[in-house]
Structure 1
Amino acid sequence: MDDQHEPLMDHENQGNFIGFLEFEEDIEPIRSFGDFSREFYIESKKLWCLAAPAVFTSIAQYSLGSITQSFVGHVGTLELAAVSVEGSVIAGLSFGLLLGMGSALETLCGQAYGAGRLDMMGIYMQSAWVILITTALVLSLIYIFATPFLVLIGQNNNIAHEAGTFALYMIPQLFAFALNFPLVKFLQAQSKMMAMGIISVAALLLHTLFSWLFIMKLCWGLVGAALVLNGSWWFIVLAQLAYIFSGVCGRAWNGFSWKAFQNVWGFVRLSLASAVMLCLEVWYFMVLVLFAGYLKNPEVSVDGVTICMNIFVWAIMMAMGFNAATSVRVSNELGARHPQTAKFSVVVVVITSFMMGVFLALLLFATRNIWPKAFTNSDQVEKLIHGLTPLLCVSIVVNNVQPVLSGVAIGAGWQALVAYVNIGCYYIFGIPLGLILGYKLNFGVPGIWIGMLGGIVLQTLILGWMTYKTNWNQEASNAGDRVKQWGGGGKD
């Protein structure tokens, strides 16, 4: 769309059904449902071009761990519980922190790209590498001392020992995370989603083949699982590096530069705000698996919850793809001083993601007697999963909207503010409610899940209200200031 459009509507027309959008010159005028449908279709095409490969990438990368758990689940319940606890607690803690710190790059690269300062993007990515690799070195201590850490927080001794051993094998994955997340944000900001999707799907296919070979055929157990999972993540990292170094990113990658060490402290501050925001979300779901380990028959509880969480996260990968697409669209448009286009993008993606969530939930509920058999041979685990399926379906619908609103926050640079929202909704409201229902009132795993879901619903409502009340013209101005502060300048 060009920048020469007339103002959307006068004050007299703002009372109609789309008056709240208040578009200005950066989007076509909308005065009727037909106009709304036209702009919805145009924006949907842009979003799906970004979201479709982002969805494939998200599903493929998340599925690496899920495929590993699926194969290990047929080895034994203790082995599955060990891999689940390591993935949810040890790797989950590191994943949340590094992903959160890497999301600072989503704001900076997205807005720099929108402002036409491609030369700064590679420098931003290198700064992120410096910070995330340093953080990974510190986090490796948690992997080394995983067994005593898990025992300290009350995990079953057998599960803690097996999970701690598996954590030592998985240290290479930690450093793959540190390199991968900046790579992903760097490519996303340039809308180079398809290359990431192809690489991730190739990694998933190879991962499935070698997981079957090493875990099932050669019976290497946890050692085989770790070997394949580490190898798959490093394949993704090296393939993305080769793609960037090949020259396809133009001015966005000009080689390594000492400028990456300039203003590192400022980058650290933004990274920490991003880390707190996303860590609080990732760890919130980790806590569900952790609390399940404190219930009677912990192996069955952990296995059932983990399998449900795998399906849950698989389902909301659709929303995570939209999260990435929304963040790119919002940051690009704000960087280009198109505030109302950014606003309309949010409207389109929330509607689309909600509809997809409803479809996925209905499909999952209809097949609730079929899909648990793919993960376990235990009748007890299957029974627990069947009882959790209705809660799982409701969670999918809610969480198909929540990541989209988080994407808006990242694209606009609101990480610090959303971190406070997450603390209140998740840790002051959701977790205490889940503990009361799960332990005090003896509802067990369903009670814990209901409490967690309550926190997510509250957070979604608050983020929706924040998005609705946002002054998008001011956000566009803030984006321009941020690009200048970090060494860029606006477009000529």
Structure 2
Amino acid sequence: MSGAGREMAERLLRGSEIEQRRGSLYLKKKIWSEVKKMWRIALPSTLFRVMSFGCIVVAQAFIGHNSEMGLAAYALLQSTFIRFIYGVMAGMSSATETLCGQAYGAQQYHMMGIYLQRSWIVDTFTATLFVPFIVFAGPILRLLGQNTEITKTVDEIYLWVIPYLYSLVFTMTMQMYLQAQMKNAIIGVLSTIALVLDIVATWWFVRVIGMGIHGALLGLNISSWSVVIAEFVYVFGGWCPHTWTGFSTAAFLDLIPMLKLSISSGFMICLEYWYMSIIVLMSGYTKDANTAISAFSICQYTYTWELNICLGLLGAACVRVANELGKGDAEAVRFSIKVVLVVSAVIGVICSALCLAFGGQISYLFSDSHQVSNAVADLSIVLSMSILLNIIQPILSGVAIGAGMQSMVAFVNLATYYAIGVPLGFILINIFHFGVKGLWSGMMAGVGIQTLILSYIIYKTDWEMEVKKTKERMKTWTLKLPSAESSSTISMRDEERK
């Protein structure tokens, strides 16, 4: 090859290397940009969920060190009825997340406050339907064959749960509303302050005044409603001028479509929350019900700590997918999904390793019983495996929520959890006599199958088609923008460009 030819080849090679470096640099910047967007949503959302759940754990910790019977009663009530209703409320509020996220991406800002008001109407009605189940929780549990002494304690505390139930209507929906417009940092701050308030109030009522389990639940109600009041002040006080323009009669329009989406969302999430509660319910049939319920409830709390981190990432996946669908960018949707899955995988592996390392020592945060500690240590391997399985599933659910595919995921959950997981768990506990560990292992198989099915569905989803569906939904549900609001909406678009 001549000198000129070699020189030309070297130039082409250097040009190719420069292009590769530019491409690599662009990809790194793109990933970093997506990670920042993701954590801007996920960190406050995770903080909110962890701190809110922390208030429940604080109540359990004070109750557990005060009364073993009280611990079992609270664990049974919390792990069955409260957890189930919490799942329904969280699921129904995800409809707000879907609609507000897509409206924000489509720059239909004036609709977000209307969607929030509609969710209050629908969720308040739903919460009221569940009040009788709380009132008759004790008799229902006795009818199911649960320990009589434990359920009598439930009869003494159920009234404290009702105010907490209604606080969920507002905290859940406003968190989704603020999250969709990247303003949920305030939620993280408020929930952190609420946890500190909860610890101080619970300590005062339980240790100083001597109210026992009632004092712990009073502290929980004070902290939960303090967050609601602070959120009202923030939203109504002018910090959301573009998306909250006051109460509107438009909130009473299209309630049926909102109800349908909320029900499918609630059904999807509550199936997941109730799934773990079945194990607590089955623990009540064992010989040493107090130890079994207490041990598994502690494992469940540990599992839920990690789950709340994943649910924060679920929120990030939901908002990012909804926003990009609203903007009409299918490629950005795919990229967002890949980034959040990788981040979730790293966190899940770390949490699983920590559970294996500490084992039964975790139980001493909740109880002084060595029997409970040994039972928790025995379940630690299954717990760590459950956390590993939990790496991907919430992210896939978040993607489905962002795209408005809640109904499909609800049917997948129903089939995998209750047609496969629960029967397999019963076989392992009744035929092979593996106890609670066998029940949990069988139900883990249901989670694994569900994850595989959702992975396939998300992988095969035509996101260009989902963009078209989102545009149609926005056209159908969006009301005409009032002229008085036009200038504020335009200014918000200018802020976004900056």
Shared topology, TM-score over 0.5?
A: yes
Question: Who is 1:353 aligned against?
Answer: 344
Contact kept, 8 Å, 1:90 with 1:167, in 2: the verdict is: no
Residue 35 of structure 1: how far off its partner (Å): 5.1
Residue 488 of structure 1: how far off its partner (Å): 5.0
Determine helix, strand or coil for the equivalent of 1:370.
Answer: helix
Determine helix, strand or coil for the equivalent of 2:359.
Answer: coil
Residue 126 of structure 1: how far off its partner (Å): 0.6
Residue 202 of structure 1: how far off its partner (Å): 0.2
Residue 42 of structure 1: how far off its partner (Å): 2.1
- Which of the residues 38, 45, 65 maps onto 1:74? 65
Determine helix, strand or coil for the equivalent of 1:179.
Answer: helix
Deviation readout 1:126-146 (Å, 9 max, x if unpaired): 111111111122211111111
Take 2:57 and 2:438, find their aligned partners in 1: how far apart are those partners? Answer: 25
Question: Who is 1:16 aligned against?
Answer: none
Contact kept, 8 Å, 1:191 with 1:328, in 2: the verdict is: no
1:97-136 matches, cutoff 5 A = 97-136=88-127
Question: Who is 2:77 aligned against?
Answer: 86
- Which of the residues 373, 388, 391 maps onto 2:382? 391
1:297-376 matches, cutoff 5 A = 297-376=288-367
Does 2:422 match 1:431?
A: yes
Contact kept, 8 Å, 1:483 with 1:489, in 2: the verdict is: no
Take 1:488 and 1:477, find their aligned partners in 2: how far apart are those partners? Answer: 19
Considering only CA atoms, is the larger Rg found in Structure 1 or Structure 2?
A: 2
Take 1:190 and 1:404, find their aligned partners in 2: how far apart are those partners? Answer: 20
- Which of the residues 24, 32, 39 maps onto 1:41? 32
Question: Who is 2:244 aligned against?
Answer: 253
Contact kept, 8 Å, 1:112 with 1:488, in 2: the verdict is: no
Question: Who is 1:4 aligned against?
Answer: none
Take 1:101 and 1:247, find their aligned partners in 2: how far apart are those partners? Answer: 26
Take 2:472 and 2:327, find their aligned partners in 1: how far apart are those partners? Answer: 12
Letter matched to residue 218 of structure 1: I
Contact kept, 8 Å, 2:416 with 2:449, in 1: the verdict is: yes
Deviation readout 1:34-66 (Å, 9 max, x if unpaired): 654442222112111211111111100111101
- Which of the residues 160, 173, 177 maps onto 1:186? 177
Per residue, is there more helix in 1 or in 2?
A: 2
Determine helix, strand or coil for the equivalent of 1:104.
Answer: helix
Question: Who is 2:206 aligned against?
Answer: 215
Take 1:357 and 1:489, find their aligned partners in 2: how far apart are those partners? Answer: 44
Deviation readout 1:315-369 (Å, 9 max, x if unpaired): 2221111011111100011001011101110000001101111011112222225
Letter matched to residue 44 of structure 1: V
Residue 400 of structure 1: how far off its partner (Å): 2.6
Letter matched to residue 306 of structure 1: S
Question: Who is 1:294 aligned against?
Answer: 285
Q: 1:289 to 1:131 in 2, by over 3 A?
A: same
1:270-289 matches, cutoff 5 A = 270-289=261-280
Determine helix, strand or coil for the equivalent of 1:368.
Answer: helix
Does 2:171 match 1:177?
A: no
Contact kept, 8 Å, 1:117 with 1:489, in 2: the verdict is: no
Deviation readout 1:369-395 (Å, 9 max, x if unpaired): 532211111111100100111111111
TM-score of the superposition, structure 2-length normalised? 0.90
- Which of the residues 230, 247, 262 maps onto 1:239? 230
Q: What is the number of residues matched between the two proteins?
A: 464
Q: 1:207 to 1:275 in 2, by over 3 A?
A: same
- Which of the residues 476, 482, 488 maps onto 2:467? 476
Determine helix, strand or coil for the equivalent of 1:252.
Answer: coil
Determine helix, strand or coil for the equivalent of 2:423.
Answer: helix
Contact kept, 8 Å, 2:108 with 2:478, in 1: the verdict is: no
Residue 440 of structure 1: how far off its partner (Å): 2.3
Residue 397 of structure 1: how far off its partner (Å): 1.8
Take 1:325 and 1:488, find their aligned partners in 2: how far apart are those partners? Answer: 27
TM-score of the superposition, structure 1-length normalised? 0.91
Letter matched to residue 220 of structure 1: M
Q: 1:30 to 1:376 in 2, by over 3 A?
A: farther
Question: Who is 2:53 aligned against?
Answer: 62
Take 1:362 and 1:98, find their aligned partners in 2: how far apart are those partners? Answer: 31
Contact kept, 8 Å, 1:86 with 1:164, in 2: the verdict is: no
